[in-house]
C-alpha cells in the first residue's frame, strides 16, 4: 500500500498535478477543429449542372477523376450499378455523398477547397474536386 501511494505521488508531482498548480488549460478544446457544416449539397439534376458529368467506368475508376470548378457549381455523378460516391477523407460530414450504389445524383459545392471522394465498395476508385 505504501509503495502504491508513493508511486501515485511521484506520478502526480511529475505530471504537475499538485494542489498548488493552477488548473491546466483546456488544450483538447483548443486543438479541436470547429464543427464543419455541410459544404456540398445534394440538389436536383435539372439541366443547370456542368455539361460534363463525372461517370464511373468499367475500369473501376471515375472519369474524370479530378475536376476543378467554381464555388456554387453543380456536378452530376453518374454511377454504375456497383458504385457510389462517398467522402474519402475526414471530415465525412461535408455532404459529398451519393451513398446508394448505382444512383445518379447532382452535388452543389458551396465552399472552396479540395474534396476527395471514393467508391465505398471499391476504395481504390478515388477522385478529387477542387473548388475555387
How many Cβ atoms from other residues are within 10 Å of residue 130's Cβ?
13
List the domain boundaries for the chain. 41-131
Q: Is the dihedral of CA 82, 85, 91, 94 positive or negative?
A: negative
Give burial (CB, 10 Å; 0-12/13-18/19+) of 21.
exposed
DSSP H helical segments within 17-111, as ranges? 27-31
Top-level class of domain 41-131: mainly beta
- 16 pLDDT band, cuts 50/70/90, is very low
* Residue 38 pLDDT: 60
- Per-residue model confidence (pLDDT) at position 118: 93
Q: Kindly report, residue by residue over 48-61, the tens digit of the pLDDT.
A: 899 899 998 878 99
- Report DSSP state, residue 54: E
Q: State how far the Cα of 55 lies from the Cα of 74, in Å rounded to an integer.
A: 14
This prediction has a pTM of 0.67
Alpha-carbon separation of residue 54 from 4, 69, 79, 85, 91 (angstroms): 63, 12, 8, 10, 22
Backbone angles phi and psi of 3, in degrees to 5: -60, -45
pLDDT in tens, 73-91: 999 999 888 899 988 886 6
Amino acid at each position: 500500500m505504501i509503495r502504491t501511494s508513493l508511486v501515485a505521488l511521484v506520478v502526480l508531482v511529475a505530471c504537475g498535478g499538485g494542489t498548488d498548480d493552477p488548473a491546466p488549460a483546456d488544450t483538447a478544446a483548443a486543438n479541436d477543429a470547429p464543427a464543419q457544416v455541410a459544404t456540398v449539397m445534394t440538389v436536383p439534376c435539372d439541366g443547370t449542372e456542368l455539361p460534363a458529368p463525372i461517370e464511373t467506368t468499367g475500369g473501376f475508376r471515375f472519369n474524370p477523376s479530378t475536376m476543378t470548378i467554381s464555388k456554387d457549381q453543380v456536378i452530376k455523378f453518374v454511377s454504375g450499378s456497383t458504385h457510389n460516391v462517398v467522402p474519402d477523407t475526414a471530415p465525412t460530414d461535408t455532404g459529398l455523398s451519393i451513398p446508394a450504389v448505382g444512383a445518379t445524383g447532382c452535388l452543389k459545392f458551396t465552399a472552396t477547397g479540395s474534396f476527395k471522394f471514393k467508391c465505398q465498395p471499391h476504395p481504390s476508385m478515388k477522385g478529387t474536386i477542387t473548388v475555387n
